[in-house]
Amino acid sequence: MTRPIELRIPNERPFHGVARLVVGGLAARHNLSYEMLEDLQLALATVLEGNGYAIGQEVLVELEIAEDAIAMSIGPLDGDAVQADLERREGNALGLGRLLGTLVEDAGVEAREGGDWLRLTKSVRGVKPTRSNA
Amino acid sequence: MPEAKTDKELLRRYHEHGDTEARERLIEQYLPLVRSLARRYSYRGEQLEDLVQVGCIGLIKAIDRFDIDRGVELTTYATPNIIGEIKRHFRDKGWSIRVPRGLQELNVRLSHLLEGLTVQLERSPTIPELAKAAGVDEEDVLEALESGQAYATLSLSAPSGGDEDSDLDPLESLGTIEHEYEVSEDRAMLAPGLAALDERERRILHLRFFEGLTQSQIAQQVGISQMHVSRLIRRSLEKMRDEIVTDEEPRRASESRR
């Protein structure tokens, strides 16, 4: 994994686009496909805009890039709510677990100082980075 | 703010005796609330008065649907309805924020290039590939893609034509209800919001999140562009979230009173 790239934004909808752009910039430098980028951005929006998971006035997005995966951590969040919703994937309900289960390979809650974070991992196997400045 | 007792009396007169004058009075009394909520959204390039009109539709719906026995104030019930109506207005109108014409055009061009490159490369193209094909910088591509998120969908009353013309008329889909999703009371479950979606939107979400199809596969099946699939997925999820918030606000307020 590369050194994490951190973005701190106000926990308000107009700023979510900024986070999407940053993810897009990194995706471009890592030669991700349009569809992979879409998945990452939609996963990010699902967490940022979903059901008040982000509990602070600010929200941090942390991105780490490896040869075969991109990890995106978002926090601080209401970890209990996120965990409960992640685990609920039964039936035909379209909840957080099913959405993230489609968009990324792995999603898990991590306890950190100052609150819980959600770490999402997206596999980018088979993608050849054009530049290594990410 | 109007007095609750007066509200209750007026609501009772309207709902139980069909007194439309009482309804008019309620609308007048709550106009300042509509105006105050509309003002929050007026920076997005819409005239305040237009948004007030849209907000009034939400207010009228709230008054008409209000359940007197539910134990909540009309303000509590009307606020999410008014906000929901204003949000729907932006979503249905098209470009919800001012996007420079150049970016709009690039977005349309990228949509065509995305289709062509996906076929040509037999995979989803990368941002650098899109940039090269469009003859612009990668940052321009990203900005144009992001600006595309401001474009929600064609207005319900918009005539057919253009790139997205192959889309079904949204009006054709209204009123069609599928029962393939279970309704859950869990706050994170989006299923309750499915009622807010038309048939095509539900189908697209099903193909993406239950069948596991990619956007390009869905685009082929549904017969619209991949970029439009992307917009519809985002918009559908937003609509469902808004619907859940609208439904839940009065319930939460009611619960907190107990």
User: Domain holding A59: CATH number?
Assistant: 3.30.565.10
The answer on pLDDT for B122 being more than 70 is yes
- Asked whether the beta carbons of B35 and B14 are under 8 A apart, the reply is no
CB A8 within 8 A of CB A60: yes
Is A16 within the bounds of a domain?
Answer: yes
Q: Count CB-CB contacts under 10 A for residue A61.
A: 23
Does residue A129 sit within a domain?
A: no
Counting DSSP H helices and E strands in chain B, the numbers are 12, 0
- Burial status of residue B193 (CB atoms within 10 A of its CB: 0-12, 13-18, 19 or more): buried
For the stretch A107-119, pLDDT in tens is 999 999 888 999 9
Residue B256, pLDDT above cutoff 70: no
How far off is chain B from A114, nearest CA to CA, in Å? 23
Identify the CA nearest to B27 among candidates B44, B10, B40, B43: B10
Q: How far apart are CA B75 and CA B16, in angstroms?
A: 20
Lookup: tokens for B209: 């999140």
Quote the crossing angle between the two packed helices B138-148 and B101-121, to the nearest 10°: 100
Whether A133 has its CB under 8 Å from any CB of chain B: the answer is: no
Q: Give the pLDDT of residue A82.
A: 92
CA distance to partner chain A, nearest, from residue B215 (Å): 7
Confidence of residue A77 (pLDDT cuts 50, 70, 90): very high
pLDDT for B159 equals: 26
- Average pLDDT over all residues of chain B: 75
User: In angstroms, rounded to a whole number, what is the distance separating the alpha carbons of residues B40 and B245?
Assistant: 18
Q: Are A74 and A54 in contact (CB under 8 A)?
A: yes
Inside any domain, residue A128: no
pLDDT band at B186 (very low <50, low <70, confident <90, very high): very low
Answer whether residue B179 shows pLDDT above 80. no
Strand order in the sheet with A106-112: A5-10, A58-65, A69-77, A115-123, A106-112
Whether residue A65 lies inside any domain: the answer is: yes
The whole-number average pLDDT for the span A34-41 is 92
pLDDT at B160: 29
Query: Do A35 and B214 count as a contact with CB atoms less than 8 A apart?
Result: yes
Q: Cα distance from A22 to chain B (closest Cα, Å)?
A: 9
CA distance A66 to chain B (A): 18
- The answer, yes or no, to whether residue A125 has pLDDT greater than 80, is no
Which residues are A61's β-sheet partners? A7, A74
* Closest residue of chain B to A82, computed from CA coordinates: B188
Q: pLDDT at position B233, please? A: 92
Cα B128 to its chain centre, rounded Å, is 32
Interface test with B, best of A16, A20, A34, A131 (most B CBs within 10 A): A34
* CB contact (8 A) between residue A49 and residue B238: yes
Q: What is the pLDDT of residue B154?
A: 32
pLDDT value at B202 more than 60 = yes
**Per-residue confidence (pLDDT) for residue B91, from 0 to 100:** 66
- B206: how many CB neighbours lie within 10 A of its CB? 18
> Average of pLDDT values for B134-154?
79
pLDDT tens profile B71-111? 788 888 898 889 888 877 776 665 555 667 788 789 889 99
Residue A47 lies in a domain: yes
What pLDDT does residue B155 have? Answer: 30
B101 burial type by CB count under 10 A (0-12 exposed, 13-18 middle, 19+ buried): exposed
CA distances for B61 relative to B26, B244, B252, angstroms:
12, 16, 20
pLDDT tens digit sequence for A10-29: 988 778 888 988 898 888 88
Label residue B150 by pLDDT band (50, 70, 90): low
Distance from CA of B22 to the nearest CA of A (A): 36
On whether residue A131 sits in a domain, the answer given is no
Under a CB-based contact definition with an 8 Å cutoff, are residues B124 and A34 in contact?
yes
Instruction: Give me the residue from A50, A95, A102 closest to B208, CB to CB.
Output: A102
Average pLDDT over residues B48-61: 89
Give me the pLDDT at residue B117, please.
Answer: 94
Nearest to A93 among B141, B191, B230 (CB): B191
Judging contacts by C-beta atoms under 8 Å, the chain B residues touching residue A46 are 237
pLDDT at B190: 52
CA B136 – CA A41 distance, rounded (Å): 22
pLDDT at B175: 26
Is B240 touching A (CB cutoff 8 A)? yes
A89 near B CB under 8 A: no
Confidence at residue A130, expressed as pLDDT on a 0 to 100 scale? 53
Q: Is residue A103 part of a domain?
A: yes
In the structure encoding, which two tokens stand for residue B40, read together? 């929050």
pLDDT, position B174: 25
- Number of compact structural domains in chain A: 1
Q: From the DSSP assignment, how many helices (H) and strands (E) are in chain A?
A: 4, 5
**Which of B128, B141, B238 lies nearest to residue A130, judging by beta carbons?**
B128
What pLDDT is recorded for position B80? 87
List, in order of start, the domains of chain B with CATH numbers: 4-95 (1.10.1740.10), 98-149 (1.10.10.10), 161-258 (1.10.10.10)
Asked whether residue A134 is assigned to any structural domain, the reply reads no
